[in-house]
Amino acid sequence: MSDPAHARENLVRFLGTIARPGQSLDGVADDVNLIDAGVIDSLAMVQIIVHLEQGHAVDLLAGGIDPAELSSIGGILRAIQRSTP
């Protein structure tokens, strides 16, 4: 995995593309639930999964990831980190 700051920057850039219109990720802390905070919609979770599958070879069906983890920046980064050899 690339350095944590770079990984976070890439993730935030991606999340910015699926955020609700007018919503910004600037200043959003790593532990904030993005759905509860209204930054992304619940069904946009599928786009996060596609991003993880295609960009980071994360296989959700193989298990090991708690769906709740994918609701925050920190959780997604941890999921990526665990799946990286």
Partner 1 sequence: MGVDLVSGSIIEPLAGRRWDAGELRRQVAVRIRSYRAQGFEAGDRALILFASRLEFFADLFAVWRLGGCLVPVDPSLTPFEIGNLAQATGARFCIVADDTRPESVAAIPGATVLHTSEHGTADVLDLPKTPFPRLDDDVLVIFTGGTTGRPKGAVLTWRAILSRVVTLGELHGTADFRRSLCLLPIHSIPLVSNCIFPLLSGCDLYVVPPFQPQVLMKLGDVLDRHGITYFGSVPSMWNLVFRAAASPRPGSLARIHCASASLPKDTWLDVQRWSGIPTVVTCYGTTETASWSVGVRGREVVPESDFIGEPWGCRLQILPAGAEPADGEASRCAAGQSGMVWLAGAGLMRGYLGQPGLTERVLRQGWYLTEDVGYLDDRGQLYVQGRARDEINRGGVKVYPAEIDHVATQCQGTADACAFRVPDELYGENVAIALVLTEPGTATVGRLYRWLESRLARHKMPARWYRVDSLPRTERGKINRESVMKMCESLQPIDLKSALQDAG
Residues in contact with partner 1 by CB under 8 A are 20-22, 24, 35, 38, 41-47, 49-50, 53, 60-61, 67-68, 70-71
| Least spacing, CB of residue 70 vs partner 1, in Å | 7
Structure tokens at 75: 């959780």
Query: Which lies closer to partner 1 via its Cβ, residue 4 or residue 59?
Result: 59
Cβ-based nearer residue to partner 1, 7 or 35: 35
62-68 long-range contacts (CB < 8 A, ≥24 apart) are none
If the CB atoms of residues 2 and 46 are measured against partner 1, the closer one turns out to be 46
Whether 71 and 41 have beta carbons less than 8 Å apart is answered as no
Helix (H) / strand (E) element for 75: namely helix 73-83
